[in-house]
């Protein structure tokens, strides 16, 4: 490899003159170093060739704003269930809350678990199982209901912490019922169908 001192004190012109850059190489040469050496040798062998710019994020080598934007997401992990959040009928603030919770930006049970606090995950497993087994015609309504329940539970939890309200399951159920009715009146037909079916089943 070339020492840091040699790289800092030598200009490109000086390195190319009489192939001085070759003399600055020190140490054992690995296979990777030899491959890079050959590439550099071929590139500087004919300095009269004009430079050719190629954008490596497209097959054509041409730059585009779209490819530049997509390059920011290289190496990211896709969230397969994103449609359950953003395509569901729910208030935007509720969708943002669920999204932040999944991205580990809220103090949910999973995040508290990393600090040694209790984090029962039975409810989460039941939710995942319910969505996977639900009939296709009920999945949209179920997704909305899950977002609604999570939102109301979170609000009740915040009220217990900052307003010193005692936790009460019946209060949460009443708020879910009231907010769910408003969602149905606002046009959430999938949730309306789900509630009607649950009513027929006595739930």
List average pLDDT for each run of 10 residues in the chain, which is 203 residues long. Answer: 71 71 73 79 74 85 91 76 81 86 68 58 63 81 89 89 87 92 92 83 55
User: Could you read off the pLDDT of 140-182 as tens digits, one per residue?
Assistant: 888 899 889 989 998 998 888 888 888 899 999 999 999 999 9
User: Contact at 8 Å (CB) between 196 and 181?
Assistant: no
pLDDT value at position 107?
67
pLDDT value at position 183?
92
pLDDT value at position 125?
64
Torsion of CA 95, 97, 98, 100, to 10 degrees: 120
pLDDT value at position 79?
67
Q: Is 184 exposed, middle or buried (0-12, 13-18, 19+ CB in 10 A)?
A: buried
Please tell me the distance from the alpha carbon of residue 68 to that of residue 59, in angstroms, as a whole number: 13
pLDDT value at position 182?
94
pLDDT value at position 123?
58
pLDDT value at position 180?
92
H/E segment holding residue 37: helix 31-45
Domain extents in the chain: 4-71, 82-200
């Amino acid at each position: 490899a070339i020492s840091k001192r040699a790289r800092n004190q030598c200009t490109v012109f000086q390195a190319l003159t009489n192939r001085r850059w070759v003399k600055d190489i020190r140490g054992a040469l690995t296979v990777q170093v030899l491959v890079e050496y050959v590439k550099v040798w071929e590139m500087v062998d004919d300095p009269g060739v004009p430079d050719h710019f190629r954008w490596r994020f497209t097959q054509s080598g041409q730059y585009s704003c779209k490819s530049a934007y997509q390059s920011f997401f290289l190496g990211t992990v896709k969230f397969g269930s994103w449609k359950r959040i953003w395509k569901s009928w729910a208030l935007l603030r509720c969708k943002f809350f669920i999204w932040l919770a999944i991205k580990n930006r809220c103090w949910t049970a999973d995040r508290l678990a990393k600090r040694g606090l209790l984090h029962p995950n039975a409810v989460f497993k039941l939710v995942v199982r319910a969505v996977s087994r639900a009939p296709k015609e009920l999945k949209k309504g179920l997704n909305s209901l899950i977002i609604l329940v999570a939102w109301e539970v979170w609000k009740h939890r915040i009220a217990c912490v900052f307003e010193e309200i005692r936790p009460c399951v019946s209060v949460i159920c009443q708020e879910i019922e009231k907010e769910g009715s408003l969602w149905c009146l606002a046009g959430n037909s999938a949730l309306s169908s789900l509630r009607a079916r649950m009513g027929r089943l006595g739930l």
